[in-house]
Amino acid sequence: MMSDQQYITSNPGIMQGKPVIKGTRISVELIQRKLREGATVFDWMRMYPGLSHECILAASMYQV
């Protein structure tokens, strides 16, 4: 089972406390918005090779 805490973190000193993928400044909000606009998980993995399939899925399912 996937845990949000494994891939997502929130820190007031990073992106004003917005949830981000751990070790990055890529916000969950941005991933969710781009996926709604038609980007695919594969698109994200190609643009950001350091992102795993699992962390993108965790972001897509994250409830703010």
Neighbours of 59 (CB within 10 A): 25
DSSP collapsed to 3 states, 25-36: CCEHHHHHHHHH
Helices 28-36 and 53-61: crossing angle in degrees, nearest 10, is 90
Q: What is the pLDDT of residue 5?
A: 84
**Domain residue limits, the chain:** 4-13+20-61
Q: Give the pLDDT confidence of 2-58 residue by residue, as tens digits.
A: 577 899 999 999 999 999 999 999 999 999 999 999 999 999 999 999 999 999 999
> Please, which residues have CB within 8 angstroms of residue 29's CB and are 6 or more apart in sequence?
18, 19, 64
Identify the band that residue 59 occupies on the pLDDT scale cut at 50, 70 and 90: very high
Residue 17, both tokens: 């406390």
The tens digit of pLDDT for each residue in 24-38 reads 999 999 999 999 999
